[in-house]
Amino acid sequence: MASLIATRDPTPASLEECTEALATWGFDPREKESVSHAAHWLGRLGNDREFLGDLLVEVLSGLAPVPRGADELAGGGAQSIMLARPERGDFLIRANIWPAVSDYAMRASGPEAFSYGYAHDHNYDFLTLGYFGPGCDVEDFEYDHTDVTGWPGEPVPLRRLGRSRLKQGWIRHYRARRDVYRLYPPESLSVSLNLVHRQAAQGWLDHYRFDTGAGCIESLHGHGPSETFLRIAVALGGDEAKDLALHFGRTHASERMRLHAWQALASAAGDRQDRDEVWRAAEASGSRLVAEAARRRRGGEFV
């Protein structure tokens, strides 16, 4: 389950000091000592009660560039402010803004833009620290991703762990594709600081939105630009593009990419019979995810 990490050092550290310490030591969420070290420095950064406000004042005054949003690997959404993405070290640091129901951002964008109200996991480990405001209420779940294929509607044995609040100064460790949570809007505007682990294969790792009432996968997350590029190539290209898609559909290491390859080929098929032949081949391609999607497509379902 997501673990609460206690930190006892009251001294502050600047963003530069925190980033350098983490880059020097590294952040490996598989190692307890590394997680403890990372939490220590994230906690010290959180003890600096002025750095984020100072940064935003500089941005608003035109004295500093607008921080980049969370990149495609971090998956943080529109409310994220990138604070550090060093060349050394497999991590990034960002601030997440959590509006209350009454805030204009919430009324303008809706709860979906801030991941409120639905249960989901992540394809990366991260530490999150309550930095400002009362914090979001969080409903926690847990599952074992090794037994999950990933098709919408697939039953998943989710274990409900309770509901809590990320208070100021608290740090929690969420594990990739193990810990699931559902966020609820805070009573007033809040901010958390996240230390996110990055890895080369991260963009190919699926993660999901869950229907906790039915105990199943509701939808697949984690789509990247490569899937879109492949579908455009097949639609606009010739036999070479189709050969590449067929190769990906049969052999690619990412099951999600294999599914998108077959979807691209089906989209380019001439008629219903040709599409059925594509999905028939996909069903026998050796991927459990693709086989289930192909079976449902041949049955007339959209997945």
List pLDDT tens digits, range 105-156. Answer: 898 888 988 999 999 999 999 999 999 999 999 999 999 988 888 888 999 9
Instruction: Assess whether 95 and 144 both reside in one domain.
Output: yes
Instruction: Assess whether 215 and 233 both reside in one domain.
Output: no
Token pair, residue 229, equals 């590029």
Look at residue 78 in the predicted model and tell me its pLDDT.
56
- 303 falls within a domain: no
The amino acid that residue 113 corresponds to is A
Task: Indicate the pTM of the whole model.
Answer: 0.82
Contact (Cβ atoms closer than 8 angstroms) between residue 67 and residue 59 = yes
| Domain harbouring 133, CATH code | 2.60.120.10
Look at residue 112 in the predicted model and tell me its pLDDT.
86
- 151 falls within a domain: yes
Q: State the Cα angle at 171 between 167 and 173, rounded to 5°.
A: 130
Long-range CB contact pairs, 241-245, < 8 A, 24+: 242/268
- 301 falls within a domain: no
Instruction: Give every strand in the sheet of 207-211, ordered side by side.
Output: 159-165, 137-142, 179-184, 119-120, 207-211, 216-221
Instruction: Assess whether 200 and 267 both reside in one domain.
Output: no
Contact (Cβ atoms closer than 8 angstroms) between residue 109 and residue 99 = no
CA neighbor of 293 nearest in space, from 258, 269, 267, 250: 258
Instruction: Assess whether 197 and 242 both reside in one domain.
Output: no
Instruction: Assess whether 103 and 163 both reside in one domain.
Output: yes
- 164 falls within a domain: yes
Domain count of the chain? 2
Contact (Cβ atoms closer than 8 angstroms) between residue 35 and residue 127 = yes
Domain boundary among 167, 194, 221: 221
Instruction: Assess whether 8 and 50 both reside in one domain.
Output: yes
Which ranges of 110-194 does DSSP label H, i.e. alpha helix?
none
Alpha-carbon distance of 69 to 92, in angstroms, equals 12
Token pair, residue 54, equals 């100072």
Instruction: Assess whether 255 and 209 both reside in one domain.
Output: no
CA neighbor of 121 nearest in space, from 212, 42, 243, 38: 212
CA neighbor of 85 nearest in space, from 172, 197, 174, 191: 197
**Is the Cα dihedral 221, 68, 66, 133 positive or negative?**
positive
Instruction: Assess whether 28 and 171 both reside in one domain.
Output: yes
- 135 falls within a domain: yes
pLDDT digits (tens, 9 = 90+) for 269-299: 888 899 999 999 999 999 888 988 888 888 7
Contact (Cβ atoms closer than 8 angstroms) between residue 140 and residue 179 = yes
Look at residue 72 in the predicted model and tell me its pLDDT.
41
| Ramachandran angles phi, psi of 172, nearest 5° | -125, 145
What's the first-to-final CA gap in the chain, in angstroms?
30
- 285 falls within a domain: yes
Look at residue 109 in the predicted model and tell me its pLDDT.
86
Instruction: Assess whether 148 and 269 both reside in one domain.
Output: no
Instruction: Assess whether 173 and 291 both reside in one domain.
Output: no
Query: Which parts of the chain have pLDDT scores under 50?
Result: 70-75
Instruction: Assess whether 261 and 185 both reside in one domain.
Output: no
Q: Which domain holds residue 258?
A: 225-295
Alpha-carbon distance of 195 to 92, in angstroms, equals 6
Look at residue 67 in the predicted model and tell me its pLDDT.
64
Domain boundary among 158, 192, 221: 221
Look at residue 302 in the predicted model and tell me its pLDDT.
57
Instruction: Assess whether 214 and 241 both reside in one domain.
Output: no
Q: State the Cα angle at 117 between 197 and 93, rounded to 5°.
A: 20
Q: CB neighbours (10 Å) of residue 299?
A: 9
